[in-house]
Chain A
Amino acid sequence: MTDLHWLSATDIAKAYAARSLSPVELTTALLKRIDYLQPKLHAFIRLDAGAAMEAAKTAEAELASGRSRGPLHGIPVGIKDIIDVSGLPTTGHSKILVDNVAKQDAACVSQLRKAGAIILGKLSTHEFAIGGPSFDLPFPPARNPWNPRHHPGGSSSGSGAGVASGMFPLALGTDTGGSIRNPASVCGIVGLKPTYGLVSRRGVFPLAFTLDHVGPMTRTVADNALLLEALAGHDPKDPGSAATKTNNFSRGLDRGVRGLRVGFIRHFHEVDIPAHPDVTAALEDVERILEAEGALVETIKLPSLTEFAGINRVILCSEAWSIHAPWLRDRPGDYGALARRRLLPGAFMTAGEYIGAQRRRAELIAAVNDKLRDYDVLMCASSMDPASEIEDAVETARTYPRQARVPFNVTGHPALAMMSGLSGNGLPVSVQFAGRYFEDATVLRVAAAYEKVAGWHEKHPPI
């Protein structure tokens, strides 16, 4: 059997069924891996090894007695530290909330427990999911397993670093301006921002109500679909939750792309924000593979990235200000410098600008929907560059906004980022696929077809 820490959740479930592996055996191996890598990668803010082992023993007993709860039963999962896990602090990686112990699980964590998953602990994030890699916080920032001198992306940094390094096969992230897809892109894994409202946000510390999403981060597309199946569903206690019955994302993953129409938004990386040549070359390879597999790929045009980004920032800063204003007034020095600088602009946005951005947002949604009437899936860049060096604040500040993820936070369409190659300096580069509302399954299907041919999921960081 391959190293246990590189097993996908899908393979683990098969091994459990065949009785060739047990939850206790796997959890013990992963805790050992975490013990070895945590000092290098800082993926965890808080590891709950005791509770994880107890959950593993429970899962083992249930599986041994034939009471399987499904494909996630006995599978370890890491949770981003803006998501509540009962009994553990939800710090948001911030001094502000360092003693904020959650009284109950977030809805998404409840869903995972119901599915029998093992909660390993809380993962590093950018402060309040907005700061950036910071060294002035109570916990160190996570680092990129492909090269720990580099940034693992954010804000779901620990989720990306932990999944990519084999600390755990599955993680939860959140995405308001790209925070699932950024670490997925630069850590070389699969990150899906589902359709807005598909996964409940109840129990997740908000950044911006109309932009926030919870989603799965995994090493394979099949695992991503499995995790989404456990998470998706209507939650009447989340006002943004959609009343949809869409919950089968694994079926049809292997249908391929023959006959699908793919709209390639080239101007995002060729004109709006010219990408690093390695990113561009990898995107061309993705196009060739999809065409060879039978998809029709055509170039399309949408409004500019600059405008999508501007709208995202006006809405994000305005909504975040409404949440953080009391602390920014009373405790500005308790924020790290990056989070404080990124949250304060909300104080200077006017009501007219916020409403104006929301009105323009409706037009941008219509523009994307128009394209999705003609195309099954859209394809574009995710990050325009490989990861910067984490201690190079200037380069990180330069590259961080060079991305094409915000359009799909503004519109709420499902969007997935995954590895599409390695840069000249051995760091992952990525591609992004987006789809129609509640057709997350089609996005996953295209990603699975690409993954099968490209095989990047079999390449692991040299750590």
Chain B
Amino acid sequence: MDPTIAALAKAAGLDKALAQFPEDIEAAATQAMGHAGVVKYPTGPAAEPWPPMQAESAL
């Protein structure tokens, strides 16, 4: 396994999963990169995320 993936899994607290299901960990890391890789992230700094932060009505 790529040592970076193992390190990230440990950092996420997934030691047990890493020991018991290493193939799932490896596949998950690959999938995460795949999903994130197809998004055309906005380049304009003012593009806000959805949903926007909104104040509730007064208490």
Contact = CB atoms under 8 A, between A and B. Distances in A.
Nearest to B38: A310
Contact of A332 (B16, B34, B36): B16
Interface in B6-37: 8-9, 12-17, 20-21, 24-25, 27-29, 31-37
Contacts of A337: 24
Contact of B50 (A317, A325, A333, A362): A362
A345 B39 contact: no
Nearest to B42: A359
Contact of B25 (A325, A344, A362): A344
Contacts of B5: 348
A360 B44 CA distance: 11
Given A329-B14, A345-B32, A356 B51 contact: no
A360 B40 contact: yes
Interface size class of A (residues with CB under 8 A): 35 or more
A74 B24 CA distance: 47
A463 interface: no
A348 B33 contact: yes
A232 to B, nearest CB: 20
Given A337-B24, A361-B50, A353 B13 contact: no
Interface of A: 210, 306-307, 309-311, 313-314, 317, 325, 328-330, 332-333, 337, 340-341, 344-350, 353, 355-363, 365
Interface residues of B, number: 33
Nearest to A239: B56
Interface SS of A by simple majority = helix
Contacts of A350: 36
A347 B40 contact: no
Given A332-B24, A360-B41, 19 more contacts: A210-B51, A307-B40, A310-B39, A325-B12, A329-B12, A329-B13, A332-B21, A340-B24, A344-B14, A344-B24, A348-B8, A355-B49, A358-B49, A359-B48, A359-B49, A360-B40, A360-B42, A363-B42, A365-B50
B37 A310 contact: yes
B14 A347 contact: yes
B47 interface: yes
Contacts of A344: 14, 17, 24-25, 27-28
